[in-house]
Chains A and B, each alone.
Chain A
Amino acid sequence: MFVTSLKKLGLLKFTNSFQLSILSILIISIALIFLASISLGSFNFSLEEIFNSSSSSLDRIVLLEIRIPRVLLSAFVGASLGLSGASLQGLFRNPLADPGLIGVSAGAALGASLIIVLGSGYLPDFIFGTLILPISAIIGASLVISLLYIFTQGFGYQGITYMLLVGIAVNAFASVGIGILTYISTDSELRGLTFWTMGSFGGASWQLILPALLIIIVTMFWMIPSSRKLDLLQLGEPEAYRLGVDVRKLKFKVIISSAITVGISVSLSGMIGFVGLVVPHLVRLLGGVNHSYLLPGSAFLGACLMMTADLLSRVLIQPAELPVGLITSAIGAPFFLWLIFRIRKT
């Protein structure tokens, strides 16, 4: 029924029934992996315990205050990275595009590193409290976007290559900043910094993630209706324009929404590589390349994969924990090589 009403609204006009069944399977998988993720870990809960309010209070605190926010955060970060990867690959018409590529992740990372290393010493806690780190990361991501905006003359510049080159320069600049911060940091700061650059969902708390989830959801609903325009853009910018797409507006929308979701994700969970790159390719292999299927599909699969990666990071070397970024990169890097190999062959 939900699908029929969406079809009536014209949102799924160009999604075929095979693709709709893949999307449905992905939604069911999200629910199943979510249940598995909240029940397994250094504390194990049976499903009965989860739905039964009579379990001990310590268990409930672990479940409600630590486990559930953490799993939710991983799902939303996965969905953000998947969705922004898919829309950036569409925008740049380049299968190797990724939020990391245009420098957004690096900008957010630099903002967060600044707070980790310098913040503790100079900023009293009461100003922003725990929100200072995400805010700083979002400012970092926004600065990168503004730089891109200035250098590409309001995203109006015709060639997309130019923007990628600016992204490379921004990435290099951010690495220098993070390098300097690493050099001057104390032992404990260095530990925080290192763990953070490898990615983790360990710091999730309701206070941090609720506003983030809200912003991410709103941004996704803003982005997904542009899927048809991203399809038309594949014909080339002039063709898309002639088919009625305001290309400049579309670029603005894709880049801003990626900046917001990626900035928030990086600030809450550190640098998690390759998800934005790999997920859209898997979704394409499963069912097709049109964006009305690809965008929601990438968000769903991103959520599935990220929850699974986080689950692995918690159970592989119990009771210790692996940084989740290591797991995604370990899987993603070989995939990336395979992708380059495949592209070269065709």
Chain B
Amino acid sequence: MSIDIRNLSWEVGNKSIIENISLTINRGEIITILGPNGAGKSSFLRLISGDLKGSKGEIFFDESNLDEISIQDRSFMRSVMSQSQEIVYDFSVKEIIEMGWIERGISTYSGDFEEAVNRISLDCSVNDLLEQSFNTLSGGEKRRVHFARTLVQLWRPSGSDDPRYMFLDEPTANLDILHEQKMMKLIQKKRDEGIGILLILHDLNLAAKYSDKIAIFKNGHLISIGTPQEVLTEETLTDVYDVSMKIDENPFRINYY
């Protein structure tokens, strides 16, 4: 059970944004994409989410071609968190989190839903904010609320073994150190529950610590993929980021200033 991306390319006009990328996201695995600005990381995430259609190549979710999966079914298989837009009207935090509820048939899971929302809010430390107006929150708090919504979207009653995936575009942006660590641990916990997770991060050390695999993008190409120790070498990083890097082996740490 995995997401298989085969020879994916995407062009805008004559400019190639993503070029011939093949990648597998396995269930129960955290794979992180690293790369400088404009490397095509976010475009890649939008392509595999189905927001955009690639010009070449194919994407398979557990052997089904993404093009043939309905919009409703896609929302049931994967949740996506990206840089969110401003919300005009005055929704409460709880209302925003509950937007992760995907209707399938009529009220199939309504019994446990309330409980799940409360538990997830606690996990994301937003349980004290539930009745507040979303628009009054700070940037970091908003981020945590959106993360809770992303988790609610993948929530299932116990015993279900649906394949599920999560794509997160810089989930830790705007978070303080405490909540950054909490969120990364929660992401690991979700991985252990069998969810396949694709992350986009900028912090190299954070990526090294929490990822099972790392993929490095540059100019729309996949430069290198493997475990953090395999991929994060001084030569590769210096070449990709144009900044000289030094790596300590024990503990594993990347130094660049």
Contact = CB atoms under 8 A, between A and B. Distances in A.
Contact of B87 (A8, A13, A234): A234
A234 B89 CA distance: 8
Interface string B61-91: 0000000000110111011101011011111
A7 B82 CA distance: 33
Contacts of B88: 93-95, 234
Interface stretch (B5-13, B18-26, B96-104, B195-203): B96-104
B100 to A, nearest CB: 7
B110 interface: yes
Contact of A235 (B71, B99, B102): B99
B59 to A, nearest CB: 15
A290 interface: yes
Given A232-B99, A234-B91, A290-B91, A242 B85 contact: no
Nearest to A280: B89
A238 interface: yes
Nearest to A242: B80
A3 to B, nearest CB: 15
Contacts of A94: 88
Given A14-B98, A232-B99, A239 B84 contact: yes
Given A239-B84, A241-B71, A228 B103 contact: yes
A243 B91 contact: no
Among A9, A231, A239, the most chain B Cβ lie within 10 Å of the Cβ of: A239
Interface string B109-138: 010000000000000000000000000000
B106 interface: yes
Contact of A231 (B72, B80, B99): B99
B231 to A, nearest CB: 28
A95 B89 contact: yes
A284 interface: yes
Contacts of A14: 95, 98
Nearest to A236: B85
Contacts of B153: 243
Interface string A83-118: 000000000011100000000000000000000000
A95 B85 CA distance: 16
A10 B109 CA distance: 11
A238 B106 contact: no
Contact of B82 (A228, A231, A238): A238
B215 to A, nearest CB: 21
B51 A290 contact: no
B14 interface: no
A124 B240 CA distance: 78
Contacts of A243: 75, 99-100, 102, 153
Interface residues of B, number: 31
B225 to A, nearest CB: 25
B149 to A, nearest CB: 8
Interface string B31-56: 00000000000000010011100000
A10 to B, nearest CB: 4
A244 B107 contact: no
B196 to A, nearest CB: 16
Contacts of B84: 235-236, 239
A339 interface: no
B106 A10 contact: yes
A59 interface: no
B107 A242 contact: no
Given A13-B110, A228-B103, A232-B99, A244 B87 contact: no
Nearest to B133: A289
B75 A9 contact: no
Given A13-B107, A93-B88, A289-B91, A242 B72 contact: no
A10 B108 CA distance: 10
A33 interface: no
A244 B89 contact: no
B174 to A, nearest CB: 17
A232 B72 CA distance: 13
B90 A289 contact: yes
B148 to A, nearest CB: 13
Given A234-B88, A235-B85, A236-B84, A290 B107 contact: no
B89 A284 contact: yes
A239 B83 CA distance: 10
B71 to A, nearest CB: 5
A292 to B, nearest CB: 11
A244 B91 contact: no
A246 interface: yes
A168 interface: no
Among A242, A244, A245, the most chain B Cβ lie within 10 Å of the Cβ of: A242
Contacts of A239: 80, 82, 84-85
11 contacts: A231-B95, A234-B87, A234-B88, A235-B84, A238-B46, A239-B85, A242-B74, A242-B75, A242-B78, A243-B100, A246-B71
Interface of B: 46, 49-51, 71-72, 74-76, 78-80, 82, 84-85, 87-91, 95-96, 98-100, 102-103, 106-107, 110, 153
Closest CB pairs A-B (n = 10):
A244-B75, A236-B85, A289-B89, A10-B107, A242-B80, A244-B72, A10-B106, A93-B88, A246-B71, A243-B75
Given A8-B107, A231-B95, A243-B75, 11 more contacts: A9-B106, A13-B110, A228-B103, A235-B84, A239-B82, A242-B79, A242-B80, A244-B71, A244-B75, A244-B103, A245-B71
